[in-house]
Structure 1
Amino acid sequence: MDFENSVEEQEDNDLFEHFKIVVDKGQSLLRIDKFLMLRIENASRNRIQNAIDAENVLVNKKPIKSSYKVKPFDEISIVLPHPPRDTEVYAEDIPLNITYEDDDVVLVNKEAGMVVHPGYGNWNGTLVNALVFHFKQLPQLPGNDGRPGLVHRIDKDTSGLLLISKNERAMTYLAKQFYDHSITRQYLALVWGDLENDGTIEGYIGRSAKDRKVMDVYDDPEKGKWSITHYKVIERFNYVTLVQCELETGRTHQIRAHMKHIGHPLFSDAAYGGDKIRKGTLFAKYKSFVENCFAIIPRQALHARTLGFMHPTKKEHVHFEAPLPEDFVAVLDKWRNYVNNQV
């Protein structure tokens, strides 16, 4: 049975994560450790077990054992310690593709597959580890520990432009532009389906109640943060469409969640259902063609192509563009050839 639970992250500080879960009426009996592993991001069995042993997991306000089986309408509260880590970010000699650099800023064209900053399960090999090696004494915003130089981020498997501050003055100046939504950002995305018109997607983006690793779009302001994406059709391939997306806000997974919300998930986006055939024929030849496309670009087809902002020293608007990476170019060529051969 497909079921849904009400999940609310009540508090998130440096030491602990607090969760409250109300079990859905359609939930079948399931051990609580397995249940919580399915619903809390980065919650291993050992982490859940330790919390249960410490009586940090309560069901209907009472501590339970890990063998307890959840029932419909159970109220579960959990306190989990954040995974311990060394707060120092270590420098690593990782090559960077630098689009532009001056005394105030660096623009990096990030390749798909690179994590932007250290976090759970990715303490090394990130863009920030590379930045600390190449640029000494990068500034940090308050409350942004472990992310020197960063004023924004893009997903691990999204390619494209990232703006880095080289000093505190530039970071403060740029952070306000992101806060005010005056930064201009355009992405290219390949999405499932034939979009009829250009449009705008709005809604409150928050964690999914079914899977905390992904985001959903809600009508309720209490469930998320306001978000706006404008999209424009660039090229049609019958069953998929290349679109340009311009962000008015910058929420986690914004384009990915928005496009799924309107029924057009990003091509090859496993987290949002785009890694399955969503449109097209039933022919085996077509299925083989799409699977070959997935092999070419085994990540969401999303590229942060342009970035424009008011320069902190020049006080003039500057604009930068990053060309599409090889995997994206290759999959577009493959779809063009497929469409042309159908005519």
Structure 2
Amino acid sequence: MKNATPFTEAKPNREAQGAVDDGSGRQSLVVGEGASGRLDAWLAAELEPDLSRSRIKALIEAGAVTVNGMAARQARHKISPGDTVELTLPEPEDAEPAGEDIPLDILYEDSDLIVINKQAGLVVHPGAGNWTGTLVNALIHHCGDSLSGIGGVRRPGIVHRLDRDTTGVMVVAKNDLAHRHLAEQFADHGLTGPLERAYQAIVWGKPQGLRGTINASLGRARDRIRRAVREDNGDDVRHAVTHYLVCERYDEKPDSTAAASLVECRLETGRTHQIRVHMAHIGHPLIGDAEYGGGFRTKANRLPEQVRDIVTAFPRQALHAFLLVFEHPASGETLRFTAPLPDDMEHLRRALASL
């Protein structure tokens, strides 16, 4: 198995005079000579990387920023040399989702982030039909006061997701700085940094060739949840590329066909249900995937009874995120995390390997 706007932009002044933090979350700065433009842009340049421009804009609109003792109220407020700007950071608000004592398999944790091996059946974020019992609820309970706030709310920063029934490695940010840094890495898809994501999937049949690339854009199907390969230019259509490597073949025949295969998939992009849709698109859907591979269920009838019973009873898509590599947002160190196949997928793999 392989492990494989009409106003000008503010001109930053790195020598803002009298920058003071009195320990209460309030900072006082004096606009230096030569600085001009919008208040939000100037503050973002002075305070990076601690606060994003969007966060500063929200603080301005909430009345947390004053210029010469008067609340600014508008992000486009124009600054002038000699202005005294004060910004007060409120205490992070409690998150709306309540913390819940849900067991977590924690691979790593520090003051900036937490890495977990997500179990099957765990929804990542609260939403319609899943307001409780999610990973976010579990992390709010586990992390407590170590969450310094994402956008002013004491909550974990989700930068990528796994489907409810997909297992494996996930990283979650604990503060704004880590959230922005990690989000940028995932948006870059590893093109200029160390980010790597690799999955193991057990699929029906054997893909053509031991290696391959699936380059097929994805968009919504007929409902808001399912995705499909789309060739049109709809607003929801996104470029998607998956690279696969066939690691094991089960019950391989002389004509090079096989009952099933263990495949390693690496993402060049990260779209909803990408691996599941791409593998089904090339005729090799994931075992257990009712959404995209339901038409292949009868293939289990051709298997010996003991193996057939294990395959038909497998309750989810056979997909596991076994590898995640990324750059630590504070130290710059490249971190690598792996998680072995969960017990249910290993049991399925062993049954198929016995053919």
CA distance in 2, matches of 1:275, 1:118: 31
**Which residue is 1:23 aligned to?**
none
User: How is 1:145-156 mapped onto 2 (pairs within 5 angstroms)?
Assistant: 148-156=156-164
Distance 1:147 1:275 in 2: 40
Residue number in structure 2 paired with 1:45? none
Q: Which letter maps to 1:98?
A: I
Please tell me whether residue 328 in structure 1 is matched to residue 340 in structure 2: no
For the residues of structure 2 that align with 1:275 and 1:268, how far apart are their CA atoms?
11
* Alpha-carbon separation, structure 2, partners of 1:99 and 1:206: 33
In terms of mean alpha carbon deviation, does 133-142 or 235-244 score higher? 133-142
- The whole-number CA distance in structure 2 between the counterparts of 1:146 and 1:115 is 19
d(CA) in 1 for partners of 2:148, 2:280 = 36
| TM-aligned CA deviation for residue 140 of structure 1 | 6.3
Distance apart, 1:147 and its partner CA? 6.6
Report if the CA contact (8 A) 2:219-2:228 is conserved.
yes
Q: Secondary structure at the match of 2:129?
A: coil
Matched residue type, 1:92: E
Q: Is the 8 A contact 1:96 1:108 kept in 2?
A: yes
Q: Which residue of 2 aligns with 1:177?
A: 185
User: Separation in 2 of the partners of 1:262 and 1:159?
Assistant: 23
Q: Is the Cα contact below 8 Å between 1:107 and 1:164 reproduced in 2?
A: yes
The one-letter code of the counterpart of 2:265 is C
- 2-structure distance, mates of 1:275, 1:108: 33
| Alignment partners' CA distance in 2, 1:304 and 1:146 | 27
The 1:140–1:235 alpha-carbon spacing in structure 2 relative to 1, beyond 3 Å, is farther
Instruction: Judge conservation of contact 2:218–2:228 (CA < 8 Å) in 1.
Output: yes
2:239 aligned partner: 226
Describe the superposition over 1:54-73 as per-residue Cα deviations: whole angstroms up to 9, x where unpaired.
xxxxxxxxxxxxxxxxxxxx
Cα distance, 1:264 vs. partner?
A: 0.8
Query: Structure 2: 5+ residue runs without aligned partners?
Result: 1-94, 251-257
**Aligned-residue offset at 1:314:** 1.9
Do the aligned residues in 2 keep the contact of 1:118 with 1:146 (CA within 8 Å)?
no
In structure 2, what residue type is equivalent to 1:116? V
2:267 to 223, 229, 247: 247
Matches for 1:113-152 after TM superposition, within 5 Å: 113-136=121-144, 138=147, 148-152=156-160
Residues 88 and 146 in structure 1, CA contact (< 8 A), matched pair in contact too? no
Correspondence for 2:312: 294
| TM-score normalised by length of structure 2 | 0.65
Match runs of 1:69-218 below 5 Å: 88-136=96-144, 138=147, 148-182=156-190, 183-197=195-209, 198-209=211-222, 211-218=223-230
Matched, 1:318 2:335: yes
Give 2:203's aligned amino acid: V
For the structure 1 residues 152 and 235, does the alpha-carbon distance in structure 2 shift closer, same or farther, using more than 3 Å as the test? same
Shift of 1:311: 1.1
Q: Distance in 1 between matches of 2:149 and 2:271?
A: 20
Q: Which residue of 2 aligns with 1:77?
A: none
What's the CA shift for 1:303?
0.1
Q: Distance in 2 between matches of 1:261 and 1:319?
A: 31
C-alpha separation in 2, matches of 1:140 and 1:258: 36
Larger Rg: 2
Q: Distance in 2 between the 1:132 and 1:145 partners?
A: 11
**What amino acid is the match of 1:251?**
R
Identity of aligned residues (%): 48
Query: In 1, Cα distance between the equivalents of 2:189 and 2:96?
Result: 31
Unmatched runs of 5 consecutive residues or more in structure 1: 1-86
* Alignment deviations for residues 51-91 of structure 1 (CA, whole Å, 9 cap, x no partner): xxxxxxxxxxxxxxxxxxxxxxxxxxxxxxxxxxxx81111
Query: Residues 198-229 of structure 1, C-alpha deviation per residue, up to 9 Å, x if partnerless?
Result: 111112211112x4331001122325111111
- 1:265 aligns with one of 285, 299, 309: 285
Instruction: Measure, in 2, the Cα distance between the counterparts of 1:139 and 1:216.
Output: 39
| 1-structure distance, mates of 2:153, 2:208 | 44
SS in 1 for 2:144: coil
Contact 1:275 1:294 (C-alpha < 8 Å) held by counterparts: no
Shift of the 139–201 alpha-carbon distance from structure 1 to 2, 3 Å rule, reads farther
Provide the TM-score with structure 1 as the length reference.
0.67
1:103 deviates by 1.9
Shift of 1:294: 2.7
Name the SS for the 1:156 alignment partner: coil
Count of paired positions: 248
**How much does 1:274 deviate?**
4.4
Matches of 1:288 and 1:146 in 2, distance apart? Answer: 50
